[in-house]
Amino acid sequence: MRIIPAIDIIDGKCVRLSKGDYNTKIIYNENPLEVAKSFEAHGIEYLHLVDLDGAKSSQIVNYKILEQIATHTKLKIDFGGGLKSDSDLKIAFESGANQITGGSIAVKNRELFEKWIAEYGSDKIILGADANNEKVAVSGWLEDSNEDLIPFIQDYQHKGIQYVICTDIAKDGMLEGPSFDLYAKILDEAKGIKLIASGGISTFDELPRLAELGCEGTIIGKAIYEGRISLKQLEQFIIM
C-alpha cells in the first residue's frame, strides 16, 4: 500500500481543516516545499497536494507551489482543487503534476471529465469521490450532490477510471480513525478499483488494517502534522 502524505494549501501555506470547514484552518508550516522535502528525506515517494484556494474559486490558484515542489523534489504528485477547465488541467500537468484528482468537475461537468480520462489516460486522472453519508460532496465540500457514492464510482469505472480517492468528510481531520466499513463496501462492490483511503487516519496501527482491506494507497494529513504518526514510522512501513 502506498503512503501518500497530504499538503493542503491556503494562501501559499501548509494548512489542515477539520471536516473541510475553512473556519477550522490551522497553519502548520509557512513553507510547503520544506514539508515536502522532509517527506522525501524519509523515503516517501508520493504527495497529495490540494489547492484549497482553487477548490473555492473558479480556477487553479496555487500552481506555483506545485511547480516549486515538482522542481525541487522527486515526489510523484497528485494535484487537486480548482481544476475546472482544460486550461487548468494543462497548467497542473505543465507545473509538474504526475496525476490530477477531479472531484466537483466529475459531478458537475461529466462530459469534460470523461474527455480528460480519454485524452490523458486513466493512469493520469484520479476520481475524487468524497462522501457525506454516502452522498458525493462537491465544491470543496461546501455542498452535497444527489449522487450516491458507490454507483457514482461504478459508473466512472465503466468509463475507464482506475484510481479513486475516497474521503469520508465526517472523519476528515478528526483523528478518529478511517471509515474501514465504507472502504470495505467500496472494494466489494466496485471490484478492481484502486482505492486510496483518505480522512481520519490517526494511528500507525490503522495502516496495516487498510492494507489488509485492499486499499491501494492511503493519504495521511493531520496525524503527521500533530505528531500522531512519525515520518520514521512511515519510513519503516514503506520498507517492510
**Could you report the per-residue pLDDT of 97-146, keeping only the tens digit for each?**
999 999 889 999 999 999 999 999 999 999 999 888 888 887 545 566 78
Is pTM, for the whole model, over 0.85? yes
Place of cell 509538474: 96
Tell me the C-alpha to C-alpha distance, in Å, between residue 169 and each of 1, 28, 140, 190, 195.
22, 21, 11, 20, 16
User: With 90 as the cut, is the pLDDT of residue 225 above it?
Assistant: yes
State which fold the 2-239 domain adopts.
TIM Barrel (3.20.20)
> Is 144 annotated in the active site?
no
Q: Cα-Cα-Cα-Cα dihedral of 82, 86, 90, 91, to 10°?
A: -40
Cβ-based neighbour number of residue 230 at 10 Å: 13
Ranking 8-17, 135-144, 218-227 by mean pLDDT, the lowest is 135-144
> Is 86 annotated in the active site?
no
Say how many residues make up the chain. Answer: 240
Q: Cα-Cα-Cα-Cα dihedral of 91, 96, 102, 104, to 10°?
A: -50
One of 8, 53, 78, 88 is an active-site residue; which one? 8
3-state secondary structure of 24: strand
One of 78, 88, 130, 168 is an active-site residue; which one? 130
